[in-house]
């Protein structure tokens, strides 16, 4: 029963974490497009709050995932888990990159267009797709 609760919490926090990673670059798209300084500042505040919230969601997502893996020995020797952990490292890298981009916007040093951020916004979709596929299909 403990396993099912930990798994539930892991899924909820991962889903919430990804919601932030899906929306934060969308704010960057709008910030890169707006010529209005007041709107820019409002979106900068939204991005700051969402980034802080997303940072806090990542921690329990990772803790519950590691807890499941270690206590219940889920996939420790399986190739699918190694691939999943590699992709999770990619998610963490993406999250870190979102924070770096935020600091560039905060310092008014963004050099990229809204088109770049539209493409950048698609990365977590593919990461999540591959992670979920590995967990459900367990191809190796």
Instruction: Tell me which DSSP letter residue 75 carries.
Output: S
CB hemisphere CA count around 13 (13 angstroms): 18
Binding-site annotation, residues for heme: 10, 84
Binding-site annotation, residues: 10, 84
Q: In this predicted structure, what is the pLDDT of residue 29?
A: 98
Number of domains in the chain: 1
Domain around 16: 2-137
38-47 long-range Cβ contacts below 8 angstroms, 24+ apart: 44/105, 44/106, 47/102, 47/105
Q: What is the pLDDT tens value at each position of the chain, 140 positions in all?
A: 999 999 999 999 999 999 999 999 999 999 999 999 999 999 999 999 999 999 999 999 999 999 999 999 998 899 999 999 999 999 999 999 999 999 999 999 999 999 999 999 999 999 999 999 999 999 99
Q: At what angle do helices 2-33 and 37-71 cross, to 10 degrees?
A: 160
CB hemisphere CA count around 60 (13 angstroms): 16
């Amino acid at each position: 029963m403990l396993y099912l609760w930990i798994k539930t919490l892991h899924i909820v926090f991962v889903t919430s974490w990804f919601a932030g990673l899906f929306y934060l670059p969308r704010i960057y798209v709008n910030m890169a497009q707006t010529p209005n300084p007041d709107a820019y500042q409002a979106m900068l505040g939204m991005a700051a709050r969402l980034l802080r919230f997303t940072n806090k969601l990542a921690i329990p997502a990772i803790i519950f995932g590691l807890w499941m893996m270690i206590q219940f020995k889920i996939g420790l020797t399986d190739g699918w888990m190694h691939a999943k952990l590699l992709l999770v490292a990619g998610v963490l890298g993406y999250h870190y990159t979102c924070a770096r981009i935020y600091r560039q916007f905060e310092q008014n040093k963004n050099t990229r267009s809204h088109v770049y951020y539209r493409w950048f916004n698609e990365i977590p979709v593919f990461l999540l797709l591959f992670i979920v596929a590995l967990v459900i299909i367990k191809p190796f």
